Structure 1
Amino acid sequence: MTEQNNTLGIWLMIATAFVFAMQDGLSRHLAGEYNVFMIIMIRYWFFASFVIVVAARKAGGIRKAAATKQPFVQAFRGVLLALEVCVMVTAFVVLGLVESHAVFAMYPLLVAALSGPVLGEKVGWRRWVAIGIGFVGVLIILQPGFGVFQPAALIPLLAAFMFALYGLLTRYVARKDSAAVSFFWTGTAGAVTMTAIGIWFWEPMAEGDWIWMGLLCISSAFSHFLLIRAYEVAEASAVQPFAYLQLPFAAALGVVVFHEAIRTNVLIGAAVVVGAGLFTLWRARVSKA
């Protein structure tokens, strides 16, 4: 068993959030030039190759990594995550990194809200209040009823819902399967799904953009490696709050590289959502203790 080192885990999670943000920036650039499905398909080819290599190097090899008593749930998880990535990258192109991540920050609250019906976990009144406050934050970001409201702002909210469901299903399958098994199914099922969809949207890519594509693939695999290491060396409750750093990292990238503007309502709403999410994580830690 790996010795717990929360300080190292926190730094690994900060690095993970930074690499995820860079990955989102690369995705936004490429998806703005080429079809989203093709970009995600190529990314998943590399990701699946990485997963298979990792599985092959471990004791028991690929056979052990693929062994599960829940193949349908595992496959559905992989399909769901692949489609969620497509939805979120579409949001980056339509809305930009700043507003997409501001809304997507809602997903930990959705995890808390859905943990009752999906996992049978008890959600106390304090967390329900935090969830409600989080939704108020999203409404501040979306500004429904005002002339500036864009229906497209609902795209990252859909992505947040899909990612929350994926996270809950990951916890569900963890009751019977190891993290290595879930990781294997995530990569392979996602690759099969994206190949079935993306191959129909293939288009030639400029030589210079293959460099960006290569960086996207490498950052995708590296970010998952960092995330796995963070959870291996530290308690999840200690490192999870630092995952929110992906929001300011991505926002900074959006402003500096893509010249996006941060509207006041988005800043206020994001602060409300993140604050509610951090409170929810804290309550979960207190309840566990």
Structure 2
Amino acid sequence: MDIKDSHGIALTILAMLCLAGMDATGKILVQDYPIVQILAVRFAIFFFIVLVIARLKGDLGSIRSGIFGTQLLRSIVLTLEVSVFIFAFSIMPLADVHAIAAMAPLIAILMAGWFLGEEIDSRSWMSVTIGFIGALIIIRPGLGVMSWQSLIPVCGAILWAAYQVLSRRVSHFDSPDTTVFYTASIGLIIFGGLTPFYWVEPSVTGWQLLIFNGFLGATGHYLLIKALALTPASILQPFSYALLFWAIIIGFVIFDELPDGMTLFGAIVILAAGVYASDLGRKLMGSSPIDPAKGEREVEH
């Protein structure tokens, strides 16, 4: 492993800490403020940072897209995904949501095969099957444990997987800067347009949390972009599961929440399946890594 890969891995782990912190502050905020308002402030901060970076780079012309329709669809899917997850965090423990959401990279493998024509080898099929078993262990249908709440992060994982596949699609036509611009601007337009109908005047503490939530989200995504510039996504993907680790710690420290034994076991099964499907798993098992020409899977958000 060279020094760039080490830096990319470190940045990914730090990005996961920021995103777990963003989810935790969102869980706090949703008790007093509408989801639309929280996300409007988050995307406003994200959009401001994107404009500042583009201005500093002197690259404002990068906002032109060669595949606008897909960019629009991708951004709409993201707005649905973040809304679903922030709702899930409001009614479920942080770690439980992330344990189920860890299915997303495995779902993305299937979607990439179906919609992008990328090859799905036997190892990938096996990892998806194992991951599905892990999800069943967490949800436990038919054992009197499953509730409708468990289906919310499942929907979020499907949306997040679709977002990853669409991101890969637009990467063939637009630069990362263009994609980030549409991510921030369309999210701001959607939630900013709805916010006047749901606005609740924040307290001083509320403003602090809203701004901190947006800052953590923007920082997390920026760190991921930097990590991907240094290290291939197929190498970084297993380390994105650090998000679950940070969610367990933050959930315990802030909310006094700990997942039960079966949830932890199911999460471990899903994580093992994800690592098994990754380049790291292939190297450890003595198999050839995925050919980048056939598609690298994006790091989980």
> TM-score range with shorter-chain normalisation?
over 0.9
How far apart are residue 285 of structure 1 and its match? Answer: 6.8
Given the alignment, which residue of 278, 282, 291 partners 1:281?
Answer: 278
SS at match of 1:197: helix
AA aligned to 2:9 is I
How far apart are residue 260 of structure 1 and its match? Answer: 1.3
Q: Which residue in the other structure is 2:174 paired with?
A: 177
**RMSD of the alignment, in Å?**
1.6
How far apart are residue 235 of structure 1 and its match? Answer: 2.3
Q: Which residue in the other structure is 1:199 paired with?
A: 196
AA aligned to 2:121 is G
For 2:99 and 2:147, how far apart are their aligned partners in 1? Answer: 14
Give structure 1 stretches of 5+ with no counterpart: none
Cα deviations across residues 237-275 of structure 1 (Å, max 9, x unaligned)? 222211100101011111121011311110010000111
AA aligned to 2:109 is A
For 1:226 and 1:41, how far apart are their aligned partners in 2? Answer: 21
Given the alignment, which residue of 73, 89, 114 partners 2:111?
Answer: 114
For 2:240 and 2:16, how far apart are their aligned partners in 1? Answer: 6
Preserved CA contact (<8 Å) 1:4 1:233: no
The count of corresponding residues between Structure 1 and Structure 2 is 285
Cα deviations across residues 96-134 of structure 1 (Å, max 9, x unaligned)? 201100000000000101111111111012211210110
Cα deviations across residues 47-94 of structure 1 (Å, max 9, x unaligned)? 111112222222332xx2211111111111112112211100111111
Preserved CA contact (<8 Å) 2:93 2:259: no
Given the alignment, which residue of 264, 267, 274 partners 1:267?
Answer: 264
- Percent sequence identity over matched residues? 31
Preserved CA contact (<8 Å) 2:45 2:211: no
Q: Cα–Cα, structure 1 residues 216 and 144, in superposed 2: closer, same or farther, change >3 Å?
A: same
Given the alignment, which residue of 65, 76, 90 partners 2:62?
Answer: 65
Cα deviations across residues 137-164 of structure 1 (Å, max 9, x unaligned)? 0010001112221111111111111111
* 4+ residue runs over 3 A deviation: none
TM-score, normalised by the number of residues in structure 1: 0.94
Q: Which residue in the other structure is 1:36 paired with?
A: 35
AA aligned to 2:51 is I
For 1:91 and 1:40, how far apart are their aligned partners in 2? Answer: 14
Q: Which residue in the other structure is 2:134 paired with?
A: 137
SS at match of 1:176: coil
For 2:278 and 2:194, how far apart are their aligned partners in 1? Answer: 36
For 1:47 and 1:96, how far apart are their aligned partners in 2? Answer: 26
1:219-234 to structure 2, matched below 5 A, reads 219-234=216-231
Preserved CA contact (<8 Å) 1:5 1:233: yes
Cα deviations across residues 199-258 of structure 1 (Å, max 9, x unaligned)? 321112121121111211211111111111111122222222111001010111111210
Preserved CA contact (<8 Å) 1:4 1:234: no
Give structure 2 stretches of 5+ with no counterpart: 293-301
Q: Which residue in the other structure is 1:246 paired with?
A: 243
TM-score, normalised by the number of residues in structure 2: 0.91
